[in-house]
Amino acid sequence: MNKVYITTTIPYVNAKPHIGHALEFVQADVLARYYRQTGSNVRFQTGTDENALTNVLAARVQGIEPQELVNRNSAFFQNLCEALKISNDEFIRTTEKRHEGAVQYFWTQLNPEDLFLKSYSGLYCTGCEDFYLERDLVDGVCPDHGTKPVIVEEENYFFRLSSYQQQLAELISSGKIRIYPETRKEEILNFIQGGLHDISISRSTKRSGNWGIRVPGDPSQVIYVWIDALINYLSGIGYGNSNRWKSFWNTGTKKVHVIGKNVWKFHAVYWPALLISAGLPVPDEIVIHGFLTEKGQKISKSKGKTIDPITLIDQYGPDAVRYSLLSNASPFSDWDFSTEKLEASHNNNLANGLGNLISRVTTLCHRAGYGRYEDRSTISDFKGIHDVIQSYSYEKALKIIWEKITKINQDIDRKKPWVLLNEGKLPELRARLTEWLNVISGIRCALSPFLPDTSERISGILSQNPIIPAPVLFPKIKTDL
């Protein structure tokens, strides 16, 4: 049995989740559900990054303890996963003891020659939790946060990233670590070939507000939150606690990180180098998605009011939100999310396309006295979809499914089954209905990773004996347009 280990990044929890988080959860969930369906042994993990200094700052503003803040906000992310029907096997929080132990153990496994202490002074953005070079700032401010970095001077532990430059370039250019999409691969290779500097991987415990995981043997330093966060991919499968992790972090498992375009430096450069230094295998695939915008503006937790994904799910249901996030554009591109787009795709494709098909075929079944239908489809029968899902082109997969839906709706219009009904040619009608039910059953399978609830409902409808007219799957939304 193939083994696949799929992860999302773990978001900062200094605020509630936004629709961009929902996007990444849903993309990774499609993969996990798809591979399970094809018979693979899947492990799917998400979680929350809680040791960041931003949490300490956010808690301070609210007059509460950092732990209280992260407990509350982590729960919002867990709720979002549940509401979106995310099928994660694990939710790891980096303030958990099991994570702390794994991070400290990982540190001790790093090649000692890769670690050294150095006094350092640099421009630091607290939002990014990262140092910037003067040349990387835009008009003197952080390109992501628009805030002026502060000069930080302290003694830190460094990791000899520079000595991995050649090895990393080879891993990525050869496709041993496969980067999706190709344009990002070029970007990463350019970055590596531009020269890698050694990186600071600890912070002063004092400046971190006593928050974070201590460096083993040196309580004056905490481990840089980004290094700590990356290790969640190991701690969540038991690294540092038992040998269980070896069954998913080995060369025989396909290890896939689904990440956003702002964090490839950590995942495609720092992380593989750290893994090699610790004597561990590197990830196999890194899938880098684009960002959602709202009214052309970057969606940011720190900037005012944004669309709350939970409100959307309450209003339209999880599958309408999933469909909108997955069908509108390539996962690799940036695009503008809006409630209007969600409503339009809901009405046109879900209500009119799919919903209408199920409704008319089941009504015909009922009128033709159709008895029991044997639903035998599996995902492997559905041709043309596997390559596109495995190369993360979810919008193309949905297009293929919707072409089938449109085709069968047109076929019904053309073959006019109600004429057979009026002429009393029921056996002939029932034979024709079986053909259509077979296609619907295939569609049900192919939809399952994308719209799990809907797929299950169709399954229930097809298994009724006799088949009765189905309830409305997607009630049309009244719009102003």
For binding to Zn ion (CB under 5 A), which residues are involved? 125, 127-128, 142, 144-145
**Closest distance between Zn ion and the C-beta of residue 126, in Å?**
8
**Pick from 41, 21, 40, 36: nearest CA to 87:** 36
Structure tokens at 69: 């803040």
Known catalytic membership, residue 257: no
**Pick from 408, 376, 401: nearest CA to 386:** 401
**Closest distance between Zn ion and the C-beta of residue 146, in Å?**
8
Backbone angles phi, psi at 287, to 5 degrees: -105, 120
**Closest distance between Zn ion and the C-beta of residue 260, in Å?**
14
Residue 191 in 3-state DSSP?
helix
Q: Which is closer to Zn ion, CB of 145 or CB of 160?
A: 145
Known catalytic membership, residue 396: no
Sequence-distant (6+) residues with CB within 8 A of 396 are 388
The active-site residue, picked from 81, 85, 99, 125, is 125
The active-site residue, picked from 3, 128, 341, 366, is 128
**Closest distance between Zn ion and the C-beta of residue 131, in Å?**
11
Q: Hey, which residues does 119 pair with through a beta bridge? A: 155
Q: Which is closer to Zn ion, CB of 146 or CB of 209?
A: 146
Structure tokens at 312: 């959307």
Distance CA 74, CA 302 (A): 17
DSSP 308: -
**Pick from 248, 226, 224, 227: nearest CA to 236:** 248
Q: Which is closer to Zn ion, CB of 267 or CB of 322?
A: 267
Q: Which is closer to Zn ion, CB of 131 or CB of 159?
A: 131
**Closest distance between Zn ion and the C-beta of residue 124, in Å?**
9
Known catalytic membership, residue 81: no
Distance CA 48, CA 229 (A): 9
Q: Which is closer to Zn ion, CB of 53 or CB of 357?
A: 53
The active-site residue, picked from 142, 257, 289, 445, is 142
The arrangement of strands across the sheet holding 90-93 comes to 90-93, 41-48, 3-8, 253-260, 285-289, 178-180
Rounded to 5°, angle at Cα 154 from 151 and 158: 110
Structure tokens at 381: 């029968």
The active-site residue, picked from 99, 185, 267, 301, is 301
Known catalytic membership, residue 365: no
The active-site residue, picked from 148, 176, 298, 476, is 298
DSSP 78: H
Q: What is the DSSP string of 283-296?
A: PSEEEEE--EEETT
Strands (E), 366-428: none
Q: Which is closer to Zn ion, CB of 125 or CB of 179?
A: 125
Structure tokens at 238: 């038991």
**Closest distance between Zn ion and the C-beta of residue 134, in Å?**
14
Distance of CA 168 to the CA centre of its chain: 24
**Closest distance between Zn ion and the C-beta of residue 161, in Å?**
20
Q: Hey, which residues does 41 pair with through a beta bridge? A: 3
In contact, 437 and 361? CB cutoff 8 Å:
yes
Sequence-distant (6+) residues with CB within 8 A of 358 are 440, 458, 461, 470, 473
Q: Which is closer to Zn ion, CB of 143 or CB of 384?
A: 143
Name residue, tokens 């939150």.
225
Structure tokens at 399: 């297009």
The active-site residue, picked from 21, 99, 289, 404, is 21
**Closest distance between Zn ion and the C-beta of residue 127, in Å?**
4
Q: Which is closer to Zn ion, CB of 43 or CB of 203?
A: 203
Among all residues, which ones are annotated catalytic? 18, 21, 125, 128, 142, 145, 298, 301
